[in-house]
Structure 1
């Protein structure tokens, strides 16, 4: 982006509040197109559905710029898990309600919600075990302390390739480019689809011409073969597209997760 725009582009990490600290900074900052917010799902899609007193307006405070990438998840189990495929896992869960455990990176995380959606659509009861991050949950999975994890291909595929975990399916409607040999969960559980996507927004008062320039710059970056190859090596699909298309994607994700969050009564502080 820096080369295309002719000025430095600096990544400034503002952790805290599942993205809330960074969101407030951008929402209340100058709307000049010079400060962008890198959005994973919580900021606009999940936090407003799970947090009571969110300190920003998830829709009104931001304007969409461009979709960056979509990351499929893998459903993985420990190597000695008795079920060899997804149908077997579901049958085992129905025979032993609540006995099969799944780890996530925390309450309200995308991994937690993916597991909840899977259980809801499959008509089974799973026991959620939240951890402080992806790594400790995966470590306990490999140690046999939990039964399954559903998280990004980038995090799990190397361990699958090494034989330390066993993958049963991918979360997207269609086979994933990173693991084309794995069937989609939807082939066994109709209607299931989950692929977290990340994107860029700016403060809502940003001039349209600034948004258009940023959108064009990112689209050029994402069209670069080297960049696309790097994304794909990490199990992610580069996206791009118009601000309007991004806005529609955000609304689709909100509709997808609202029912799961309300049915499971998932809240975060």
Structure 2
């Protein structure tokens, strides 16, 4: 199954009801989030926790364990009991990006874990400051070609999703862009508004409020099709065929977790993701629910690894 098929939210929110599964958690469950409280990942985990608990009959707690680009949480889950009671919330760094950009990681990204379910995808948008001369993707490319290396883009740091999105944009467009890494999205956006960098390609959730206030101007969306969060924006792919990028979050478990536990958890969370209330809360964050089977998730992760390996290798992106 290809990535686009898996990540088309409307097409995969179908799985057997949780009641069809025999396994039930004997004690409270835990979702470990490898990021600090308050961000999108933490919020998504808390949105699904209570309704999942209602289906499975045990509380589902959210524990934040930041550090080491996700490695602290990954090690804790990989070395913990494989009983279905602890799940790891994954952004792309843990299984997809860290192994491609870091020489040594203290866990086996694939062998230590088994897929559970895809949770959400969050489109990115390409934005510039209101007085910037480019008003379209075509304008950005033309401007960059007229002054190679003269256009800059901000990101939340080396190896961040915004960094890689900008690198993919430059690679497909055949242009040079100067990458300016920051310690998080917010300071990069501040410098963008202050005229110290030219653009940023980051999540709609972070940027759309500023666009709607008139403090930034949006040019395009990162997904191959128009995004629900900003249906008026054209996809970058209309100018750069093959460009398709969205922040992709999902759940995994220790590799020895019983299949019947994975099946029951997957069915329960599919049911939660299909609920209108969940979709509304996701969309308020600029995200779209995904769902599907563990096998579909495994295929999507492998597709992401293959795609980003080409970009990271070509751009020689590494994290020490």
The verdict on a shared fold, with TM-score over 0.5 as the criterion, is yes
Pick from 205, 211, 215 the counterpart of residue 164 of structure 1.
215
**Aligned-pair distance for 1:144?**
1.1
Establish whether residue 241 from structure 1 lines up as the match of residue 292 from structure 2: yes
Could you list the structure 1 runs, at least 4 aligned residues long, displaced by more than 4 angstroms after superposition. Answer: none
Corresponding residue for residue 9 of structure 2: none
Corresponding residue for residue 18 of structure 1: 69
Corresponding residue for residue 80 of structure 1: 131
Establish whether residue 58 from structure 1 lines up as the match of residue 58 from structure 2: no
Deviations 1:43-90 (A, max 9, x none): 000000001111111111000000000011000011111111110111
Corresponding residue for residue 197 of structure 1: 248
**Aligned-pair distance for 1:205?**
0.2
Aligned residues: 269
Corresponding residue for residue 115 of structure 1: 166
Q: Distance in 2 between matches of 1:18 and 1:111?
A: 15
Pick from 40, 45, 49 the counterpart of residue 96 of structure 2.
45
Deviations 1:111-139 (A, max 9, x none): 00000000000000000000000111011
Corresponding residue for residue 105 of structure 1: 156
Q: Distance in 2 between matches of 1:79 and 1:48?
A: 38
Corresponding residue for residue 180 of structure 2: 129
Q: Distance in 1 between matches of 2:307 and 2:175?
A: 19
Deviations 1:221-257 (A, max 9, x none): 1011011011112221100010000000101111110
Pick from 86, 93, 102 the counterpart of residue 35 of structure 1.
86
Structure 2 counterparts to residues 144-183 of structure 1, below 5 A: 144-183=195-234
Corresponding residue for residue 261 of structure 1: 312
Pick from 44, 54, 60 the counterpart of residue 3 of structure 1.
54
Unaligned runs of 5+ in 2: 1-51
**Aligned-pair distance for 1:191?**
1.1
Deviations 1:129-163 (A, max 9, x none): 00000111011111111100000011111111111
Unaligned runs of 5+ in 1: none
Deviations 1:161-200 (A, max 9, x none): 1111000000000011111110000101111111121000
Q: Distance in 1 between matches of 2:269 and 2:241?
A: 34
Q: Distance in 1 between matches of 2:126 and 2:119?
A: 23
TM-score, structure 1 normalization: 0.99
Establish whether residue 207 from structure 1 lines up as the match of residue 255 from structure 2: no
